[in-house]
Structure 1
Amino acid sequence: MPGLTTVLFLVLAFTWRPPLVITDLWQDPLKNLQMVVGPAAALGLGLAAGLARMTRSTILEALFDDYVRTARSKGLRENAVVGRHVMRNALLPVVTTSGGAMGALIGGAVATETAFGVPGLGSYLVQALNARDWIVIQNLVLIYGTIAVLINMLVDLSYAWIDPRIRYS
């Protein structure tokens, strides 16, 4: 589970307590933002660090390729070289990894919502598991599966946008 230790750290170290009454998003946006910061940090910190390391390493690897040297020798500015040539090739592994990490985020959301007491599909799934409500469990698994398939489809379709050499026919 991504961020499970981060969840425990945030809950214990900062003595974070969820609000007793959940307000409507448009009634009190600041209170809702305070309610979301802890779970979002617990879910995102570990995955963001891994993606940042991967982005850095793929960019550094692409900076020393022959096509980058050729683009620099043509007289292109460094911003144009990095933006047009380096980033397009360096982003493909990052997008692939981030698409795969979405499954971990979905699974981690169940534990994070339960630990922080935030109402959502994850805590609803835990309540349904405790009550052995099989219809709700099946529907939530179907929803989570559909979300995962849609994310993977968007990742695959984004390859052609990132790298024009990739064509789907």
Structure 2
Amino acid sequence: MRQRTGRRIGVIVGAGTVIGVAMVLLGMEPRLVLVGCVVAAVGATTWLLVDLANVVAPVSWYNYGTVADTSARSDPSVQTLQTRLRTPARRRRRVAPLDRVRADPTDEITAALLDVIEDHLVAGHGIDMLIDPHAAAEALGPELARFVTDSKTRRSMAQPRTLAYTLTLIEDFSDQQHLA
């Protein structure tokens, strides 16, 4: 440590001497005390920055500002769907060579959403959609009830432009279940 400190002070004194001599030789008539103070200040600042660079870890600005809400975790199925929504390229499925009709990706999403809704109805309210559809519709609310019962509404609510809203409705429904 002392050797490194002595070397740094030697570099600062040497740099100040070289700068002062160069200024005198060039006829600048420098005030050597002022030049020495400036060189010492610049050297000390550089010394400090080099030492800090060895101690400080770099900051990842990519996810800066995103704060995870740890108070209420959403359902794992909903988290999976949100992940699929953010990265659609990873979601490509292999289609059998003989199968010329390709399945619509919204069918996979709506099936998963219906499973999540049904699981929350059974777990939180003890309601089976097939046995008691009226109680299920009452517990779900008008928008989610239309999503469950009407295939046209289900297809429109599973489109990329409205899927985030649909996921929010399902999360709100599941949060109400946890609060009850």
**TM superposition score normalised by structure 1:** 0.28
| Higher percent of residues as helix | 1
**TM superposition score normalised by structure 2:** 0.27
Q: Which of the two has higher C-alpha Rg?
A: 2
Relative contact order higher in (CA < 8 Å, ≥ 6 apart)? 1
